[in-house]
Amino acid sequence: MSQEVDGVPEETTTNSEPPESETEESKCAEFEEKYKRALADYINLERRTEATIRDGINQKVDAIMRDFLSIYDDFERARDAYKAQNIDTEGLDSVLKNATTMLTKNNVTPMNAVGAILDTNLHEPMRMVENSDYEENTVINELRKGYIINDRVLRTALVEVSTKGEQ
């Protein structure tokens, strides 16, 4: 019903806005959605950051271990040269034993390449050798030992690989 005030009809006010509780509920739902998105973004950022840090640490450890392996190889060559000249290698053997223990403690393990089929992820072929005693692309000699650290390649093995000769 409309009433007249001073000859002008007054319309009954109809509230087109939703009740206050509905507005509050929609605001609450909106904030909850924003919170969930922000939390998901934070969790993803945390995971990416952890992965980046872990990768950076692994790269540094790998670089140090590769440098150490070069020194380790030098000690092995020195020991082998001394043995070939019948010189006592007891001191070098002790150093190499300690170095091997340190590598093992840090999950660095040597690859066994000889006899394996060439895998360019693990082996770096340096020479192809005709050899009918082996299957094609079989590693027949290691020129430099390869190593694995925590299930990833630390250093590829330098190898000689068999090829079939003309028959």
The single-letter DSSP state of residue 111 is: -
Residue 79 and residue 29 in one domain: yes
11: in domain: no
pLDDT of residue 14: 52
- 149: CB partners within 8 A, 6+ apart: 61, 62, 65, 106, 107, 108, 109
pLDDT in tens, 74-109: 999 999 999 999 999 999 999 999 999 999 999 999
Residue 101 and residue 26 in one domain: yes
Residue 147 and residue 102 in one domain: no
Residue 102 and residue 113 in one domain: no
State how many domains the chain has: 2
pLDDT of residue 11: 54
CB 155 within 8 A of CB 69: yes
pLDDT of residue 31: 93
Domain CATH code at residue 158: 2.30.22.10
Phi, psi of 30 (to 5 degrees): -65, -45
CA-based radius of gyration for the chain: 36
Residues of the chain with pLDDT under 50: 1, 167
Residue 88 and residue 162 in one domain: no
pLDDT of residue 119: 95
Residue 45 and residue 84 in one domain: yes
C-alpha triplet 104, 107, 112: angle, nearest 5°: 80
pLDDT of residue 8: 57
86: in domain: yes
Residue 157 and residue 132 in one domain: yes
Kindly compute the dihedral angle of the four CA atoms of residues 97, 99, 102, 106, in this order, to the nearest 10 degrees: -120
pLDDT of residue 130: 92
Edge-first strand order for the sheet with 139-144 is 123-130, 157-163, 139-144
Residue 82 and residue 128 in one domain: no
Residue 102 and residue 27 in one domain: yes
CB 159 within 8 A of CB 139: yes
Residue 42 and residue 100 in one domain: yes
pLDDT of residue 20: 75
Residue 131 and residue 91 in one domain: no
96: in domain: yes
Residue 84 and residue 119 in one domain: no
User: Domain limits at 118?
Assistant: 109-167
